[in-house]
A = this chain, B = another copy of it.
Amino acid sequence: MSEIETIQAYYAASLGKDGRITRTQRQILAAALDLFAEKGYEEVGTREIAERAGVAEGTIFHNFVNKNGILDAIMQPIVKNILPTMLNTLDQAVLDSPNQTLEAFIVALVRDRVKFVTRNRASLAVILSQFFNNAEDRAAVLGMVSPAILTQATEAMERLKATGELVEWPNHMILQLVFSTIGGYLVEQVLYPQAATLSDQQVVHYLSDFLVNGLSPRRIPLQSDNTAS
């Protein structure tokens, strides 16, 4: 994953004539982000957004064409740029060192995600909400996982299984467990932004350790212990 980890940096690309985001646009986006995260897209009216942003209702349509245009402006940078980039980064790491251990692999994977979640809570709340509420938006999020990436991920898993680093479970199930663990952290952060009792570093440690142990091939002594009891 590269340096671009904040949404603001992406607005320039999609808004404004000369790659610049207007003060007005920023006000509207900030207001909408707050409100969407708090109440959900459907529950927020354009009048409300305009009021909180301190602009006229018409100004919203001047700048974003649609109510949906605001949502796009919030989701696009993450869905179209950051997440794909992140997935590519993951893949690159795997490709770079084919004989990497599961631990190193997972730690790298988790660390990036945790940082990202911490930095983009509000936007992720909106994306998460849309993901579960709108089939189209869900497709958009899922669509960014290109088949190529999936293929590469599958290859990585097979390689790790071959070297005895990964349990011999269906790849589909392994992926689900990895996503669940990271996703669960995401959900917690998004829903309780205030309760950050652990440092990012600690979280990375726990999640990685949990995943590594959960997905490592079962050792003989562990099995015998269980059998013995």
Contacts and interface: CB of A to CB of B under 8 A. Distances in A.
Contact of A180 (B138, B184, B191, B209): B184
Contacts of A203: 173
Contact of A173 (B131, B132, B198): B198
Could you say how many copies of this chain the assembly holds? 4
Main secondary structure of the interface of A (DSSP, over half): helix
A31 to B, nearest CB: 17
Given A132-B129, A181-B177, A184-B179, A210 B221 contact: no
Given A177-B210, A180-B183, A214-B214, A132 B133 contact: yes
Interface string A111-141: 0000000000000000011011111001000
Contact of A138 (B103, B134, B191, B197): B191
Contacts of A214: 209-211, 213-214
A96 interface: no
Contact of A226 (B101, B133, B135, B206): B101
A128 B179 CA distance: 17
Contacts of A226: 101, 103
Given A213-B216, A214-B214, A135 B197 contact: no
User: Which of A38, A103, A128, A181 neighbours the largest number of chain B CB atoms within 10 Å of its CB?
Assistant: A181
A176 B191 contact: no
Interface of A: 38-43, 101, 103, 128-129, 131-135, 138, 169-170, 172-173, 176-177, 179-181, 183-185, 187-188, 191, 197-198, 203, 206-207, 209-211, 213-216, 218-219, 221-222, 226, 229
A-B pairs with lowest CB-CB distance, top 5: A180-B184, A214-B214, A42-B42, A40-B133, A210-B214
15 contacts: A39-B135, A40-B132, A103-B226, A129-B132, A133-B133, A173-B198, A173-B203, A176-B185, A180-B180, A180-B185, A181-B181, A183-B184, A183-B187, A213-B222, A214-B214
